[in-house]
Amino acid sequence: MGAHRINSMFRVIRLDVMLIAIIVSLSMPSSIQPPASGQTVVPNAPFKIVVLPDTQHYAQHFPWLLKLQTDWVASVSQSQNIVFVTQTGDIVENWDNQTQWRAADIAFTSLDGHLPYGIAPGNHDIAPDGTSPYFQQYFPLERLRNPATARFGFDQAAVAPFGSHGPNNTYRLFSAAGKQFIGINLEFCPTDDTVAWLDQTLTKFANYGAIITTHSFTSASGDRETASHSCQVWAGPGQNAATDIWDKVIAPGQHDNVLMFLSGHDIWSSAGAARRTDIVNGYPLHQMLSNYQEFKLGGEAYLRLLEFDIDKSVLNVSTYSPLTKTFKTDADNQFSLYIPFSKRFDVLTKQ
Residues 27 and 100 in one domain: no
What is the spatial distance between Cα 236 and Cα 233, in angstroms, rounded to a whole number?
9
Cα-atom radius of gyration of the chain, to the nearest Å?
Answer: 23
Q: How many domains does the chain have?
A: 2
Domain of 298, in residue numbers: 46-349
323 lies in the same domain as 255: yes
Other Cβ atoms less than 10 A from the Cβ of 143: the count is 15
Residues 213 and 113 in one domain: yes
- Is residue 41 in some structural domain? no
56 and 92 belong to one structural domain: yes
Task: Please count the other Cβ atoms lying within 10 Å of the Cβ belonging to residue 160.
Answer: 11
Q: What is the CATH number of the domain that holds 182?
A: 3.60.21.10
2 and 25 in one domain?
Answer: yes
Identify whether residues 86 and 5 lie together within a single domain.
no
Tell me: do 23 and 70 sit in the same domain: no
Residue ranges of alpha helices (H) inside the chain are 3-27, 56-61, 63-76, 98-108, 133-138, 141-145, 192-204, 242-245, 341-349
131 with 16, same domain: the answer is no
Claim to verify: residue 82 and residue 144 sit in the same structural domain: yes
Q: Within a domain: residue 134?
A: yes
242 shares a domain with 169 = yes
Any domain includes 194: yes
* Side-by-side strand order, sheet with 258-263: 162-165, 169-176, 179-186, 209-214, 258-263, 283-290, 273-280
176 within a domain of the structure (yes/no):
yes
pLDDT per residue of the chain (351 residues) written in tens, 0 to 9:
444 443 443 333 333 333 333 333 333 333 323 333 333 445 578 999 999 999 999 999 999 999 999 999 999 999 999 999 999 999 999 999 999 999 999 999 999 988 999 999 999 999 999 999 999 999 999 999 875 444 454 444 445 689 999 999 999 998 888 888 999 999 999 999 999 999 999 999 998 999 999 999 999 999 999 988 888 888 889 899 999 999 999 999 999 999 999 999 999 899 999 999 999 999 999 999 999 999 999 999 999 999 999 999 999 999 999 999 999 999 999 999 999 987 666 434 444
| C-alpha to C-alpha distance for 73 and 94, rounded to whole angstroms | 25
Q: Return d(Cα 129, Cα 231) in angstroms, integer.
A: 13
Asked whether residue 19 falls in the same domain as residue 85, the answer is: no
In a domain, 38, yes or no: no
Give Cα separations from 272 to 55, 227, 297, 299, 316 (angstroms): 13, 22, 14, 9, 18
| 181 is a domain residue | yes
Pair 112, 76: CB distance under 8 Å = no
